[in-house]
Amino acid sequence: MKHTAIFLPPLVLFICVACGCHKMLDVKPEHSWTDETFYTTTYQANLALSGIYSQLSKEALYGYRFNVMLEAGTDETYTNDPGATWAAAKYEYTSSSDEIKNTWLQFYSCIHLANQLEKNLKAELFSEEEYNLILAKARFMRGFSYFTLANWFGPVPLRLIPSSSQKDNNFPPSPVLDVYKQVEKDWLFAAAHLSHSKESRYVAGEPNKMAAHGLLARLYLRMGGFQPYLSANEAECFFDNPAQYFVKAKEQCEIVINDGWHGIVPFSTDTASYRNHFLKYIQEKYDTRESLFEISFGNLITSGITVHGRMGNINGVEFVGTPGIPRGFANVNAALPVYLKYSPEDRRRDWSIAGYKNNYSSSTGLFTMRYILNSPLDQEYGIGKYRRWEPTNLAELKSKTPQAGAPYTILNSGTSSATDANYTGTNFPILRYADILLMHAEASIGGRFGTANADAGALNSLNKVRERAGLTPYTESLAHEDFFNELVDERLRELCFEGLRKQDLIRWNLIKEKLDETNASIINFPSFTASNQFHQAYLTPGLTFNKARHLLLPYPLQEVAINPSLKQRSGW
């Protein structure tokens, strides 16, 4: 994205404060920006859009607290923190937890700014095409915010005009179906009016036409799946005629597939295709063919906008001590089931799971590289997808005992955050083409609760993802249950650590089952030790999870306090 920030130079601020004479104070301002008069030029509209985009780039959301911390506690990731710092990752949050409060606040901040733009953007000041394009970008982001809020909180207040006074806080939650219908409306408008990412006017990183179609497919899959807020009776937790939504999801996926612009580089062309794609996120480059939409950090940083991306730092490969760059903490582990689901020949495993870390010796000032791929219950069995560094010769490291002072390569050198110990410019993927293919395969069989066997189209979509990983394609049709189970595993292998797993498991009504399987695999793993505090931390989500409480987040305490129409759900 190209964004513009406005700065007041320090000297000007100094003069204004230091002079203090009444003549300066008596000068009438030549320009005044208000909500009603601001959105009058393309420049101003783009400033407003930058503000909307930046809401999702805050530390509270895709910086890490939402997409890493709240997403943890499945068969994909769990925290290795035995204390209370990462309580939210262990289903130990409350309605007053900061992670709950700030998730709600930041998404609604994004919605408020989008509503403000929609209300005050004057159609007569723009061409019809430009007006609709600006509006489509704002509605795309509003739809994304409402979709995410409804998935995590259930019924939420559906505000479509900006709040202006205290009385606006008294706003009842809307049924989830109504929220989803508004999301559908916003994304259909976006799909009709956004630029295609192949157009010269498209700015990489911004919402685009095919991303809107892809997210519509994600919406319809969710609408056809399990809805935890509808009834205490699980048999009733579905919208009417759920099969219709899988048809719609398939149609949206096929719009993207048949368009032909997006794709993935196959294994036969590039044996490191998966790795090379994620290197682009780390190096702040845009792969507009495979990545349909991502949360941007690096380009916002260089534009002077304060964002707090910590991809590769909080959820990266451990790198501590002096020097502190590129610092990594590995606060979440790649869960044992992820390791077990990869076959040895799957080329994604060594990239998704780093399998190494450093131990720093303060006495020698040297790093000891430690390769831990054969010990997946190690405390810092870190995520490799967003790694900031790697051993210069990983193959040699695998074959030797830990090496003091082993050379390493910094992967994000030359980027906006290369010299920052903690904050990174690594973008976070929201929608990739591989997800389009896997959604298409799932929609073709009607999801978990459908009955159709996999047809040639479903197999072809699944095989394209498998072939890129260097795996043998399926050549014969699979029964519905077998194909669905393969999709559950394939989404874990392909899309791990991309903020999708928890909501996937909820819409399939499988989260409790997968947590139980995760704990069983940990306890039965040869290196498990009951007295190990880190091993116990891995087990905590499965022990703490309560299906009656944790399929949805509680409403934030402060929202219930200021909104008389928002009643806290039972159990909180």
Per-residue pLDDT tens digits for 40-56: 999 999 999 999 999 99
The whole-number pLDDT of residue 29 equals 52
Which backbone phi and psi does 389 adopt, to 5 degrees?
A: -155, 165
Report the pLDDT value the prediction gives residue 406, as an integer from 0 to 100. 80
CATH architecture, domain defined by 10-252: Alpha Horseshoe (1.25)
Q: pLDDT value at position 565? A: 97
Q: CA dihedral in degrees (470, 250, 552, 556; nearest 10)? A: 100
The answer to whether the Cα torsion of 417, 422, 423, 428 is positive or negative is positive
Interatomic CA distance for residues 381 and 135, integer angstroms: 44
Per DSSP, helices labelled H in 20-57 are 22-26, 42-56
Phi/psi at 517 (nearest 5 deg)?
Answer: -65, -40
DSSP string, 64-86: TIIIIIIT-SSSSEEE---SSTT
Q: Given this model, what pLDDT does residue 7 score?
A: 32
Residue 30 to residues 11, 27, 33, 189, Cα–Cα distance (Å): 20, 9, 10, 37
CA dist 489 and 493 (Å) reads 6
Nearest by Cα to 153 from 447, 448, 541, 506:
506
CA dihedral 384, 385, 389, 391 (to 10 degrees): 50
Predicted TM-score (pTM) of the model is: 0.92
Q: How far apart are CA 317 and CA 356, in angstroms?
A: 7
Number of CB atoms found within 10 A of residue 414's CB: 8
Alpha carbon distances (Å) from 411 to 272, 392, 406 = 15, 11, 16
Phi first, then psi, for residue 535 (nearest 5°) are: -60, -35
Q: What is the pLDDT of residue 404?
A: 74
pLDDT of residue 17: 38
Burial pattern 338-377, b for ≥16 Cβ within 10 A else e, equals bbebbeeebbbbbbbbbbbbbebeeeeebbbbbbbbeebb
What pLDDT does 10 receive? 34
Long-range contacts of range 388-397, CB-CB < 8 Å, 24 or more positions apart?
388/282, 388/312, 388/313, 388/316, 388/317, 388/319, 388/326, 388/328, 388/412, 388/424, 388/426, 389/317, 389/319, 389/326, 389/328, 390/317, 390/354, 390/356, 391/356, 394/350, 394/356, 397/356, 397/369, 397/371
Peptide bond into 326 cis (omega under 30): yes
Say how far apart CA 171 and CA 179 lie, in whole Å: 14
Helix, strand, coil content of the chain in percent (nearest 5): 45, 10, 45
In this structure, is the dihedral angle defined by the CA atoms of residues 381, 385, 391 and 397, taken in order, positive or negative? positive
pLDDT computed for residue 27 by the predictor = 53
Nearest to 3 by CA among 49, 38, 42, 39: 49
Question: Residue 281 burial by CB count (10 A; 0-12/13-18/19+): exposed, middle or buried?
Answer: buried
425 neighbors 298 (Cβ within 8 angstroms): yes
Q: CA 515 from chain center: how many Å?
A: 21
Look at residues 368, 430, 360, 402 and name the one whose alpha carbon lies nearest to residue 53.
Answer: 430
- At residue 69, φ and ψ (nearest 5 deg) are -75, -55
Residues of the chain with pLDDT under 50: 1-25
Q: Which residues contact 335 (CB under 8 A, 6 or more apart)?
A: 74, 75, 76, 77, 78, 518, 538
Q: Which contiguous run of DSSP H or E holds residue 218? A: helix 209-224
**Range list of β-strands (E), 298-407:** 332-334, 356-361, 366-371, 389-391, 403-404
**Ranges of each domain in the chain:** 10-252, 332-423
- In the prediction, which pLDDT does 333 show? 97
Contacts of 36 by beta carbon, 8 Å cutoff, 6+ apart: 120
Q: CA-CA distance, 463 to 481, in Å (whole number)?
A: 17
